Amino acid sequence: MREKDGLSQHMSDCLKVDPGSMVEQLVEQRRSLLGRCREELKEPKKETLLTALKAELTQEAETFLETYRSRYQSHSNQRAMDRARRDHAVFLREKDGLSQRIACLFVTPSAMEKQFVEKRRSLL
């Protein structure tokens, strides 16, 4: 889990695995660990130890997933904001380039304002 937690702190790594897939990975990891321990542990306290280990792994996974979901949402939101800023900058550069040509005289300031409002709505 520490490995997964470390990866989730980097945006590019975090966005590759959605929270649902992360749950599946953790369930499989827990199943594998419990299976291995089931084979290695000896009686008489085997089941007691397995139950305790399962509870511990479940608690750690729940704590991790809570943090992971929060980071995933934060990274997703940041990515959307960055994309909107980038699109807006491209739009402004395009309009600035057009306004330096004589053709800009065909677009009234009110029409330009309308274009800006429409673009802002599409970005938000």
Identify the residue with better confidence: 97 or 2: 97
Domain of 64, in residue numbers: 2-123
Integer angstrom CA distances of residue 72 from 5, 79, 100: 11, 10, 42
Mean pLDDT of 100-124: 78
Query: How many domains does the chain contain in total?
Result: 1
Tell me the pTM. 0.61
Q: Which of 71, 58, 63 has the alpha carbon at shortest distance from 19?
A: 71
pLDDT digits (tens, 9 = 90+) for 18-51: 899 999 999 999 999 999 998 888 888 889 999 9
